[in-house]
Amino acid sequence: MADTSDPLRSKTTTPELEQLRSAQAAKKRPSVDPTHILDKAIYQLWETINDLDQIQPERVEHYRVSIFGSSRIRRGDPIYEEVKKLSFELARLGVDIVTGGGPGLMEAANSGAREGQSGTNARSFGLAIHLPTEESANPFVDKVFRHRTFFSRLHHFIRLSSAFIVVPGGIGTALELFMVWQLLQVKHMKQHPLILVGTMWPGLIDWIRGTMLERGLVSPSDFDVIKVVGSSEEAIPIIRESYERWQQEERGNANPGAGS
């Protein structure tokens, strides 16, 4: 027999009673912390990305060099022209150029690649990010990838590149430098060339040696993964040697039975 003493327990229903029953049921459910749910979902997404990142192609079809540098150094500055010439020479080798796609030295690198890629398979990429202080991607990139976070952008640089050149820059350039340096340090990526170009970097390296190394916070071998050169011209032979080694490896991968 139905209990009619409590209208909420009665089988009789009206829209008002349904609302009351729903409200009462909601009170009985445990409270949900949306922040906890969001954090868990983001962590699971990272795990998925990490799993996908393990799927590496057997062959890398293109040798690409990422060039990191300031967005504030403009056309006409000697450093701008030096970076443009560097990228021009690398593109003539058939090497793809990857930058942040913005102005300044990124534009210089993409512009040099555009001029040097004629008659080669070299292409120029921009990994652009939305910033209130920066314009849209510079007009010299062949393909633009747009990112909303620095995290995904940095990861994209790592996945695309076979070598890294760091030219003068600010905090963003330093972030990119240290990201690559640490991945090389802990062997989370292949031992690709990491080249620091210009007069501003020896002071930074000396400071790291005099503070971190002196206190045992880094190892002497950590400095083996970087090369510091005074000019862009000195970087070209390093990239050429790495590129030729990459070509030999690719020929071996394409013809695994050759020479056996």
Confidence of residue 43 (pLDDT cuts 50, 70, 90): confident
Note the pTM of the prediction, 2 decimals: 0.81
pLDDT for 26:
64
pLDDT digits (tens, 9 = 90+) for 227-239: 999 999 999 999 9
Please give the helix or strand (H or E) that residue 191 lies within, else none.
none
Confidence of residue 96 (pLDDT cuts 50, 70, 90): very high
CA distances from 238 to 89, 229, 244 (A): 13, 10, 10
Q: Is 113 in a helix, a strand, or coil?
A: helix
| DSSP-derived secondary structure for 55-107 | ---SS----EEEEE--SSPPTTSHHHHHHHHHHHHHHHTT-EEEE-SSSTHHH
Nearest-angstrom CA–CA distance, 142 and 147: 16
pLDDT digits (tens, 9 = 90+) for 194-207: 999 999 999 999 99
pLDDT for 260:
46
**pLDDT at 139 > cutoff 90:** yes
The more confidently predicted of residues 253 and 74 is 74
**pLDDT at 161 > cutoff 50:** yes
pLDDT for 11:
57
**pLDDT at 214 > cutoff 90:** yes
Domains in the chain, CATH or no CATH each: 64-254 (3.40.50.450)
The more confidently predicted of residues 105 and 53 is 105
- The mean pLDDT of the chain is 88
**pLDDT at 1 > cutoff 80:** no
- When pLDDT is averaged across residues 42-59 and rounded to a whole number, the result is 75
If you search the block for the tokens 């990526």, which residue do you land on? 189
Q: Bridge-partner residues for 227, per DSSP? A: 195
pLDDT digits (tens, 9 = 90+) for 5-30: 565 555 556 776 677 777 776 666 66
If you search the block for the tokens 């990239």, which residue do you land on? 239
Q: What percent of the chain has pLDDT over 70?
A: 85
93 C-beta neighbours (distance < 10 Å), count: 16
